[in-house]
Amino acid sequence: MCGMPQQPPIRTTGFTPGRPDASMSLLTNVMEHSLDEGYAEAAARRRAEGAPLPRPLRAKLGLAAGLVLAAAVVTVGAAEARISAPVLAKEREELIDRVDAKTAAADELADRVDRLRDEVGERQRKALKSAGAAGEPLASLLAGATEVEGPGVRLVIDDAKGTDQSGSGPRESGGFSDTGRVRDRDMQRIVNGLWESGAEAMAINGQRLTALSAIRAAGDAILVDNRPLVPPYTVLAVGDGEKLDTAFRDSVDGLYLELLRKDYGIRFSVSAEDEVRLPAAPSLIVRTAEPGTAIARGNGGQGTAETGKGTT
């Protein structure tokens, strides 16, 4: 052919085209073999030689060991509690028996005290009867051995208004200051004034007064026969109500009480009552004494004497 160049013939050389991902062989190798053979061999040697395990596995094993230990502790505690339960129950029953026994003994002693008190009262009544029928009521009244009821006077006395009841001043007779508080000496004068005005029996806040009663003070409290009283103080006196009221108001001790109200704000009220009731004294202890014989001794010209001791 003219005018047309001829193409050279295609020669076959035996070349095979590669895979499309042939250029990614390095990345593929890394993904398929993430651990180098050297590191794998080193890890195998460490496991064979007993080297420490990785941390996650050690943590799991430690947690498992802790749970096993806790379960063992709980099991042992439950077993000990089950074993000690009968012992505790036995001790509890023994304590209950002891408490019941002590309570029964205390009740028996209380019953004995009541019987002895009744016996003492019966003997007192017999002793008063032996003194004469006329002297029996007066003697028992003065001794406070029996309950008393009848007309009389009610006297209520209290500290000044606004006075601190928690201890703003002493109630003893000594060291008096203007505190507006009722003192033991004030109560003594009131009681003595009522006796002198004709009272036949008397009680303060339910505490019966006898010939052996004492009114004292200890710090913030007024004591009657060593029993503390709490204000206001209520004095009940048996006697001719109207006459006793008038006689006490006109007495020196009644005027003294008015002076306390005027100068120190002490509050009180006196009223005649148609009927007041006084309890018997809780206990009456009578002491007697026997005379002793004086014995003179010679001691180098100096004489000494020994006397017998009184008995109760």
Q: What is the CATH number of the domain that holds 260?
A: 3.30.70.1880
The reply to whether 155 and 103 lie within a common domain is: no
The reply to whether 121 and 83 lie within a common domain is: yes
149, pLDDT greater than 50: yes
What span, in angstroms and rounded, lies between the C-alpha atoms of 200 and 210?
11
CB 193 within 8 A of CB 253: yes
Nearest to 181 by CA among 133, 243, 135, 230: 230
Report if residue 299 sits inside a domain.
no
* Mean predicted confidence (pLDDT) in 81-99: 81
The reply to whether 202 and 90 lie within a common domain is: no
Q: Which residues contact 206 (CB under 8 A, 6 or more apart)?
A: 279
For residue 114, what pLDDT is reported? Answer: 85
CB 248 within 8 A of CB 160: no
Report if residue 98 sits inside a domain.
yes
The reply to whether 104 and 174 lie within a common domain is: no
Report if residue 232 sits inside a domain.
yes
What span, in angstroms and rounded, lies between the C-alpha atoms of 37 and 34?
9
* Among 84, 103, 130, residue at a domain's last position: 130
The reply to whether 200 and 253 lie within a common domain is: yes
The reply to whether 210 and 172 lie within a common domain is: yes
The reply to whether 125 and 154 lie within a common domain is: no
The reply to whether 92 and 203 lie within a common domain is: no
Nearest to 155 by CA among 279, 278, 273, 280: 273
What span, in angstroms and rounded, lies between the C-alpha atoms of 149 and 135?
19
Report CA 177 to chain centroid distance, whole Å: 34
What span, in angstroms and rounded, lies between the C-alpha atoms of 281 and 145?
6
Report if residue 284 sits inside a domain.
no
What span, in angstroms and rounded, lies between the C-alpha atoms of 220 and 213?
20
285 DSSP assignment: -
306, pLDDT greater than 60: no
172-231 pLDDT, tens per residue?
A: 555 444 578 899 999 999 999 999 999 989 999 999 998 888 899 887 889 998 888 988
Q: Which residues contact 200 (CB under 8 A, 6 or more apart)?
A: 141, 148, 237, 238, 239
Report if residue 231 sits inside a domain.
yes
274-304 pLDDT, tens per residue?
A: 999 998 887 655 555 666 654 444 444 443 3
The number of distinct structural domains making up the chain is 2
185-200 pLDDT, tens per residue?
A: 999 999 999 999 999 8
Q: What is the C-alpha radius of gyration for the chain, rounded to an integer number of angstroms?
A: 53
For residue 298, what pLDDT is reported? Answer: 44
The reply to whether 233 and 120 lie within a common domain is: no
49 DSSP assignment: T
For residue 312, what pLDDT is reported? Answer: 34
152, pLDDT greater than 60: yes
Task: Provide the domain limits for residue 225.
Answer: 148-278
